[in-house]
Amino acid sequence: MSLAMLTHWVCNVMIGQFFLAAVAKVGVSGVYCGFGVVCILAVLYIQVCGLGLCEKTVYIVCVCLCGGGGGANMPRDCAPHRQG
């Protein structure tokens, strides 16, 4: 949780520091298009690399996220989620 908060604060500081300079350089629409591209890339990353959590028990989710020893001890349900 603290790593997520650190990332959140660092991103907020960077956006605060560079937003006006970016608006002056590429305009408001260019900056918001850049934000949109980052959001689309984040969604694609989650679709490809995220764990599918539907119909899994809390225990399986915890084992998948915490490692559970790895290797042969990992449940089959910990495979990355693939749609299609």
pLDDT on residue 74 = 58
Number of structural domains (the chain) is 1
pLDDT on residue 84 = 44
CB-based contacts of 17: which residues, under 8 Å, 6+ apart? Answer: none
Measured CA to CA, the distance from residue 50 to residue 53 in angstroms comes to 9
Is 6 part of a structural domain of the chain?
Answer: yes
Residue-number span of the structural domain to which 19 is assigned? 2-78
pTM of the model: 0.55
Give the model confidence (pLDDT) of 10-46 as tens digits.
999 999 999 999 999 999 999 999 999 999 999 999 8
Buried b (16+ CB within 10 A) or exposed e, 59-83: ebeebbeeeeeeeeeeeebbeeeee
Is 84 part of a structural domain of the chain?
Answer: no
Give the model confidence (pLDDT) of 61-79 as tens digits.
777 777 665 555 555 656 5
pLDDT on residue 17 = 94
